Copies of this chain bind each other. A is one copy, B any other.
Amino acid sequence: MKIINTKDTNFKTEFDGILARAKSDIKGVSTIVMNIIDEIVLDGNTALKRHIEKFDKWEVKSDEDLMINPADMKKAYDNIDEKLRDALHIAYNRIKTYHEKQIPKSWLDFEANGTILGQKVSAVDRAGLYIPGGKAAYPSSLLMNAIPAIVAGVKEIVVCTPTPNNEINELLLAACHLCGITKAYKVGGASAIAAMAYGTQTIPKVDVITGPGNIFVATAKKLVFGEVNIDMIAGPSEIGILADETAKPHYLAIDLLSQAEHDEMASSIMITTCDEVAFLTSKEVEKYLKTLSRETIARKSIEDRGAIIVASSMEEAIALMNEIAPEHLEVMTKNAFELLPYIKHAGAIFLGENTPEPIGDYLAGPNHTLPTGSTAKFYSPLNVENFMKKSSIINFSKNAINELGEACALLADTEGLTAHAKAVRVRLENNNK
């Protein structure tokens, strides 16, 4: 694995290369995806069937064929290995407990003049979860998307997942049963996003769409944004690690690889203050690489997009990491917690040597749907608020309008809005006659 030093003369160029890591080429597929969406809007289920036959290679004979039978979910749940079922339950409960702490409360505030201001928080009516299928069907994705919606109080949750050759991952079905999903559809890709955004004869129109997916799914989500809300536009997975001389190189190495194995486009970057840790970690990466079932993918990711950076100080290391704003950030230093105030941008922060990133992928509790590609500078992890929205509450008393009305009308006057001004003054006239 490549080691570079912040003192290298070409460091800035190298680091700019890291910052310019893979972004999804949304523009490149926009036209294709726009056409797919148009077809769904125009032809509904008929277009869905056409797309399934084309992409997933099975024939949809009726509208009912689009639906996943909840009885199949129950059967899958009953049939899985007990240890695995227990593990799913542990994950479910921990994720639920964490997300329950995120629920925002409606509030009211009272003023001496009788005014009441506040904010009402409520769940959206319908949420649509997109869960990738086929080889990359991750039951953990279902838990991580469904649980915040459940905790938010969403009444109707819709799941779409592609089923190549009409086959579904059994563990995904089991996870659906665990989450109480009753409306799941065998529809994938941009078609699924369009179907949930606009509705078809079978799939209900939702208010919010969340969930991971390939470039076509990401592009479709961007294109339907505004018609529905979406969580974020995510790209390839990433890990950043801050390590000092106390970090264990073999921990660092396997953690870097746990992102690299996801995707050739994934990026794994470690910044350390210690030359020896850099050197030893690089060695360990090579050793572990050979043991991985997805060695080819991981190797390409590490070679093309991986780097170990040696920094002159932890201060410099953190400053560089804040520029990267990684999806996952591990802090493997003797005083991990004390560095928290300085870490400005990261999707999730993993502190200390007993917190490997994968623990957050499955069952630590926080969501594993996280902003990538530096978007942690402005996006948050998927959370219950993605499935909720707010309304402002305003109740002016007679005293309040009498006291503040004229200032308000004056501002309306200056903006040339006479009905605005009059709406206030008609109250003042009436209250004071």
Contact = CB atoms under 8 A, between A and B. Distances in A.
Interface of A: 26, 83-84, 86-88, 90-91, 94, 98, 101-102, 104, 107, 109, 115-117, 119-120, 122, 124-125, 138-140, 171, 207-208, 222, 225-226, 228-229, 232-233, 248, 250-251, 254-255, 257-258, 260-262, 288, 291-294, 298, 336-337, 340, 343-367, 370-371, 375-381, 383, 385, 389-398, 400-401, 404-405, 407-412, 414-424, 426-427, 430-431
A391 B349 contact: yes
Contact of A401 (B291, B336, B343, B354): B354
A83 B354 contact: no
Contact of A389 (B102, B124, B380): B380
Contact of A394 (B348, B422, B424): B348
Contacts of A228: 378
A224 to B, nearest CB: 10
A155 to B, nearest CB: 11
Given A225-B225, A348-B391, A359-B424, 14 more contacts: A86-B407, A91-B411, A101-B119, A117-B364, A207-B377, A226-B233, A251-B423, A251-B426, A260-B419, A355-B394, A358-B423, A362-B412, A370-B392, A381-B391
A157 B365 CA distance: 35
22 contacts: A87-B407, A88-B411, A101-B107, A125-B377, A208-B378, A222-B226, A229-B375, A250-B426, A254-B419, A254-B423, A292-B422, A293-B416, A352-B395, A354-B396, A354-B401, A354-B427, A355-B396, A355-B401, A358-B412, A358-B417, A358-B424, A363-B407
Contacts of A292: 418-419, 422
A352 B396 contact: yes
Nearest to A86: B407
Of A392, A412, A420, chain B has the most CB atoms within 10 Å of the CB of A392
A229 B396 contact: no
A404 B358 CA distance: 12
A396 to B, nearest CB: 4
A420 B351 contact: no
Nearest to A106: B340
Contacts of A26: 226
Nearest to A350: B394
B394 A389 contact: no
A358 B408 contact: yes
Contacts of A416: 293-294
B358 A376 contact: no
B229 A411 contact: no
A358 B422 CA distance: 9
A258 B392 contact: no
Contact of A418 (B86, B104, B294, B345): B294
A395 B360 contact: no
A98 B109 CA distance: 9
A389 B378 CA distance: 6
Nearest to A218: B226
Nearest to A415: B138
Contacts of A348: 391-394
A117 to B, nearest CB: 5
A82 B244 CA distance: 59
Given A117-B365, A294-B419, A394 B351 contact: yes
A351 B139 contact: no
